Amino acid sequence: MSQESSEEETVSVSIEYLAFLLDELSENQARIRELLGENQARAIFGSCADRLVTTVETGRYAFSPIEGIVQKLKGWGMTVIQRKKGEAVELEIECPYAEHVHPRLSSREPRCPLGVYTLGAVRLEDSKSQLIHNCLTKEGVKLTIES
């Protein structure tokens, strides 16, 4: 396999478009929570997470699925700090797009799609895990996943 074919391709994407995608996701998730209640919404988000984690090729994990996701995020140019607090995993993700995209969001409850992706990785080892917090920051997102 040549070096050229193994490199990730990039395209130029409008910041406004990225903000739209995040708003669309956030509004869909908010509406699901409104219609079904928090417990049913979490069940749906968990099921989506289980499927989503399989859509991004991460290869075989030499360690744990969460470490595989951390490595994938770092490969996408993000900085990740991971902490274990009791039964919870906390991740602080610094995203190179956050400072440009987050101020443009208009959702009432903006959420980062990396929360569902990360939840999927944790659920590979503990299928009852739930995403407890998905809080956008100026630099990225803080996530808490509880087992």
Tens-place pLDDT, residues 23-54: 999 999 999 999 999 999 989 998 988 888 87
pLDDT for 96 beyond 90: yes
Checking if the pLDDT of 64 tops 60, the result is yes
pLDDT at residue number 2: 40
Count the Cβ atoms, other than its own, within 10 Å of residue 120.
25
Instruction: Count CB neighbours of 119 within 10 A.
Output: 26
Q: What are the respective helix, strand and coil percentages of the chain, to the nearest 5?
A: 50, 20, 35
Domain ranges of the chain: 13-146
Stated pTM of the model = 0.82
Q: Please determine, for residue 12, whether its predicted confidence score (pLDDT) is greater than 60.
A: yes
Residue 103 CB contacts under 8 Å (≥ 6 apart), including other chains: none
- Quick one: pLDDT at residue 60? 54
pLDDT for res 140: 96
pLDDT tier at 56 (50, 70, 90 boundaries)?
low
pLDDT at position 11 over 50: yes
CATH tag for 13-146 (out of 3.30.1380, 1.10.3470, 3.40.1130, 3.30.70): 3.30.1380
pLDDT at 1: 39
Find the range with the poorest average confidence among 6-10, 80-84, 99-103, 141-145.
6-10
